[in-house]
Amino acid sequence: MASARTAHLVRTPDFQRISDYAPLEERIALTYRRARAIAKAYALTADDVLYLKPKFWELHMDNIYAMDGGAFTLLTIQYNLAAGTLAAFAEKRPELRPLMDQVMKFDVSAQYLLTEQAHGLDAPNLETTATLLPNGEFDLHTPHDGARKYMPPTGPFGAIPRVAVVFAKLVADGENRGIRPFIVALGDGKQTCKGVTVKLLPQRGGIKPVDHAVTSFDHVRLPSTALLGSLEKPRNLRDNFISCIWRVSVGSLALAAMAVPLLSVNAYVAARYSLRRTVTGSDGVRVPIMSFRTQQLPIMQAIAQAAVIRAHAKAGAAIYKDTSIDHRVRSGVAAAAKASMTQHAWSSLAILSERIGAHGVFEHNSVLQSELLMRGIRIAEGDVLALSIRLANELLLGRYSMPTPKHPDCLLARHEMGLFAECRALLEKVGGNHRHESLSRLLLPRCLPLVQAMGHRMAYESALDGGVDRPLVDLYESEIVLFDSAWYVERANLPRWAQFEMEDKALSAAMPHLEEYLAKTGAEPYATSPILTEESWTAFINELPVFKGNAELSLISSPPTLAPAPPVQAHL
């Protein structure tokens, strides 16, 4: 069952619904209070984040984020990106430990400023500079508008001091010595520090408010201790950059695991609604809409996905923690997991929002918010498409290899190998020239499906080996087959109708266990949608703003009185 560390928070005042008409500053402050409450419930240590211990992964899969995705945004930046980067240096530098302690307790809000307006996926070429001064201090500066840091929450909100890990080009003696992280004070919770300019961005659609911003620096003076790393120029600037931002690839897996709570809680809401909502059948008898296959299938698929992704995340975390494995392989495992996990969650949440009808478009039912949050996750900590293109190309060029399938004869492993064979054949046609013009047309669009197929296979074998109930594993497998139905017809001798029957058989085996599976999600305390019961819906309607009046409005005037028509005379 899902973690119960935060179940008690649902009943506290800060986790009750706030008015949609509350001022933006008040709603952002609430997001920070919620994030700090969740942080307190987990009480992570520096070792938890540095060595990726189970509690770190558990934090990223807590069902409470279905109630507030904004709090999740703050927490994953705080603990994975900022604390994860700082922890590696604090182990060897005692002067950093008091700050590390404040970050772990969430006594300060810690941010991670990497991406620039003009350098998104092109981050190795970022232009913010940190120039070494003769006295050993640094001058942090944004040279032009394109070098402004984009997206991280840096506004003076939440009444909490704010610091950041800021990535800048280290310049010493006029020489570019590569990208380095620096510790920078941003503000005291009420105003920004001198030389720091923050421009608040409009709110992201649908999710709880967070102060995402554009941040720039005007010759901010930093102490010598602000530098995390060496002053020496590295042998390879790109390798140095990758080592500096290693927590981003951790984030690819950690963020993708967010699919578990979003699917769990929203599938629970859709299921409970579908069990109580009835329609009149042709015989005049009212039946719950859950009795229809079109309702059962997307709900049970979401439940199956959540169970399989949880097993996949656990297996992926174990690989990522094994430092004896090539770091490129570990990053590849994270990329494949993100490509497949977010694909499942994004598509399923869109369907679940439809299956609860008009309720699905309102924020108070959380499904739409969850869908929009997952859209952001697909971009954050590595855009899914960019990650997939990079990974697929490196594997096709033989620069390294991913772990071999544990069940090579299963349908999903055969599919993965089949897609790789197709892509390799394309590459061989142009003599192995991966920069050939035809590959940008034919191969690039195949990269994402290829990496997703890899993630599907890994998820399936993780579920098989991880003890996920067989009906859920079979339902997951049937869903993946239908993602690329034509390939299984062409290459696996599995006709379309056989695929449909495969899905029907798996769903029929799973449906009798619906209540058991809903209980295993641990979603009940976090499902606060008013559509869950007739009583909660009635209470919700009764609390809505009411407008009454005595207005009279005439829209159609009375018809004019017509004179009687003259008698008609007959003509002989």
The pLDDT of residue 2: 46
Determine the Cα–Cα distance for residues 571 and 562; give it in Å rounded to an integer: 26
Q: Is the pLDDT of residue 105 over 60?
A: yes
Task: Convert the pLDDT of each residue in 457-487 to its tens digit.
Answer: 999 999 999 999 999 999 999 999 999 999 9
Average pLDDT of span 263-271: 98
Answering whether pTM is above 0.85, one says yes
The pLDDT of residue 571: 55
Residue 198 bridge partners (DSSP): 215
Rg over CA atoms, the chain: 28
- Which 3 state secondary structure label does DSSP give 42? helix
Q: Is the pLDDT of residue 381 over 90?
A: no
Q: What residue type is 204 in one-letter code?
A: R
Query: Mean pLDDT, the chain, as a whole number?
Result: 94
Q: Grade residue 389 by pLDDT with cuts at 50, 70 and 90.
A: very high
CATH architecture type of domain 7-235: Beta Barrel (2.40)
Determine the Cα–Cα distance for residues 520 and 532; give it in Å rounded to an integer: 18
The pLDDT of residue 344: 97
Average pLDDT of span 211-238: 96
Q: Grade residue 363 by pLDDT with cuts at 50, 70 and 90.
A: confident
Q: What's the CATH superfamily of 245-279+286-526? A: Butyryl-CoA Dehydrogenase, subunit A, domain 3 (1.20.140.10)
Average pLDDT of span 259-270: 98
Let me know if 91 is exposed, middle or buried by CB neighbors in 10 A (0-12, 13-18, 19+): middle
Residue 113 bridge partners (DSSP): 166
Q: Grade residue 572 by pLDDT with cuts at 50, 70 and 90.
A: very low
Q: Grade residue 20 by pLDDT with cuts at 50, 70 and 90.
A: confident
Same fold for the domain at 7-235 and the one at 245-279+286-526? no
Q: Is the pLDDT of residue 570 over 80?
A: no
**Could you give the dihedral angle defined by the CA atoms of residues 369, 375, 377 and 379, in that order, rounded to the nearest 10 degrees?**
-150
Determine the Cα–Cα distance for residues 160 and 90; give it in Å rounded to an integer: 22
The pLDDT of residue 409: 97
Task: Convert the pLDDT of each residue in 334-361 to its tens digit.
Answer: 999 999 999 999 999 999 999 999 999 9
Who wins on pLDDT, 21 or 547? 547
Q: Grade residue 437 by pLDDT with cuts at 50, 70 and 90.
A: confident
Q: Is the pLDDT of residue 175 over 60?
A: yes
| Cβ atoms 196, 220 nearer than 8 A | yes
Q: Is the pLDDT of residue 425 over 50?
A: yes
Average pLDDT of span 376-383: 89
Neighbours of 141 (CB within 10 A): 19
Q: Is the pLDDT of residue 3 over 70?
A: no
Determine the Cα–Cα distance for residues 306 and 447; give it in Å rounded to an integer: 25
Query: Measuring CA to CA, which residue among 491, 329, 335 is closest to residue 421?
Result: 491
| Cβ atoms 289, 243 nearer than 8 A | no
Determine the Cα–Cα distance for residues 295 and 309; give it in Å rounded to an integer: 22
Residue with tokens 């309720």: 359
Average pLDDT of span 288-292: 96
- In angstroms, the first-to-last Cα distance of the chain is 98
Q: What residue type is 369 in one-letter code?
A: Q
The pLDDT of residue 557: 76
Sign of CA dihedral 112, 113, 114, 116: positive
Task: Convert the pLDDT of each residue in 111-138 to its tens digit.
Answer: 999 999 999 878 899 999 999 999 999 9
Neighbours of 120 (CB within 10 A): 15
The pLDDT of residue 19: 82
- Of 31-35, 81-85, 353-357, 367-371, minimum mean pLDDT range: 367-371
Please report, for residues 352, 429, 486, the alpha-carbon distance to residue 371 in angstroms, rounded to integers and kept in the order given: 10, 40, 28
Who wins on pLDDT, 565 or 193? 193
| Cβ atoms 227, 180 nearer than 8 A | yes
For 463, the enclosing helix (H) or strand (E) is: helix 444-465
Give the start-to-end residue ranges of the domains of the chain: 7-235, 245-279+286-526
| Cβ atoms 111, 152 nearer than 8 A | yes
Q: Grade residue 282 by pLDDT with cuts at 50, 70 and 90.
A: confident
Task: Convert the pLDDT of each residue in 526-565 to its tens digit.
Answer: 999 999 999 999 999 999 989 999 998 888 877 766 666 6
CA angle at 251 for the pair 414 and 264, rounded to the nearest 5°: 70
